[in-house]
Amino acid sequence: MKDFFSKLLNGMSIAIVVALIPNALLGEILKLIIPSVPALQHLLDATVIVMSMLPILAGVLIAMQFKLTQIQTASVGIAAMVGSGVINKTAEGIFTIGGIGVVINTGITAALAVIFVQLVGEKLREYSILVIPMLTVLIPGMIGFMILPYVKTGAGLIGNGVAYLTNLQPILMGALIAVVFGIIILSPISTVGVATVIMLSGIGSGAANLGIVAVGMGLCFASYKANSLGTALAHVLGSPKIQMRNFFMKPKIALPMLITAAILGGLAGALNIQGTPYSAGFGLSGLVGPLNFINLADGGWSAKNISIMLGMFLIFPLILNLFFIYLFKNRLKVIKDEDYKLEFE
């Protein structure tokens, strides 16, 4: 069971980074350039479409972790797509695709599909190409589709918990929300989904962004010795979710980052770091967090606001993470470099 869960999370982690990085690296830059070069809108649209391919990528990459056949791998991919919720049907009967779906349900559906095709195995032999795709959609795919509303409701409960925190004193609220979003970004649950469902805005949104910045930057520093530089940078430029497997296997690896998140979240309450429901959950990815703070701050691009932005989104996360990583690694001996090793390089 531990090996199965590990492979499942590893496949999902890789898929999330592959699907999200094009838009994370290019999205905000393209939005600035498109008014002058309208033709680049097609490139921006392409990166958004790639994000919506996350469910099928997750299914395929999870299947590859289990070394399934080509037919089985493709079948797991389409089953994951069916159960993801990324495709919706309008009242007019038109199918639309948008967002990244419900990531946790994508994982559940893919897991069911893997178990199903492994049970069927090679029993169907020459009929595999005819029967396995159909049965995989019919059984695990439709199970995933039917449980989707209930999984959404479960994710909504997390949103309700976060919404409750917004009623607390600003500094305490900021610290708690930053930690909660720091944990969510390391899980299959979508931080953007939670933020938009409850329309998290103001200091709550700013604290959420800083929590993700703390986790992403901390994991970048903590993991660079165990992985390549490019993989380490993917924690910041892409998503810290690539450490999902390691976090679930050893939750202690996130302690330095979550303490940093709490401090930054408290500072968000003190310094009035704000965001919108649609910027919360991104952190430094695409520079969405810092740019939204500047756009919402009184005075805009003033020297004071630029200094606060650089301090909160770059300097403080760097210093605090380095200190706590050193403390937990070298003094307390709680974590070590190998804990952050990613197995897909």
Asked if 244 and 328 sit in the same domain, the reply is: yes
Do the domain assignments include residue 297? yes
Do the domain assignments include residue 158? no
Do the domain assignments include residue 94? yes
Do the domain assignments include residue 67? yes
Contacts of 113 (CB under 8 A, 6+ apart): 59, 63, 75, 76, 79, 80, 136, 140, 141
Number of domains in the chain: 2
Across 99-104, average pLDDT: 84
Q: Which domain holds residue 303?
A: 166-345
The tens digit of pLDDT for each residue in 182-220 reads 999 998 887 877 887 777 888 888 999 999 999 999 999
Asked if 205 and 124 sit in the same domain, the reply is: no
Asked if 88 and 121 sit in the same domain, the reply is: yes
**Of the residues 126, 153, 180, the one at which a domain ends:** 153
Asked if 62 and 125 sit in the same domain, the reply is: yes
**pTM, full prediction:** 0.81
Do the domain assignments include residue 184? yes
Asked if 149 and 257 sit in the same domain, the reply is: no
**Of the residues 153, 182, 203, the one at which a domain ends:** 153
Asked if 208 and 119 sit in the same domain, the reply is: no
The pLDDT of residue 344: 65
Are 55 and 86 in contact by the 8 Å Cβ rule? The answer is yes
Asked if 288 and 266 sit in the same domain, the reply is: yes
46 confidence band (pLDDT: 50, 70, 90):
very high
The pLDDT of residue 297: 87
Q: Chain-wide mean pLDDT for the chain?
A: 88
292 confidence band (pLDDT: 50, 70, 90):
confident
Do the domain assignments include residue 160? no
Asked if 25 and 143 sit in the same domain, the reply is: yes
Asked if 37 and 180 sit in the same domain, the reply is: no
Q: Is the pLDDT of residue 345 over 70?
A: no
Are 294 and 301 in contact by the 8 Å Cβ rule? The answer is yes
Asked if 197 and 344 sit in the same domain, the reply is: yes
Q: Is the pLDDT of residue 146 over 80?
A: yes
How many of the other CB atoms lie within 10 Å of CB of 160?
11
3-state SS of 218-232 is HHHHHHCCCCCHHHH
Asked if 10 and 74 sit in the same domain, the reply is: yes
**Of the residues 153, 188, 207, the one at which a domain ends:** 153
Are 178 and 214 in contact by the 8 Å Cβ rule? The answer is yes
Asked if 89 and 120 sit in the same domain, the reply is: yes
Across 101-108, average pLDDT: 89
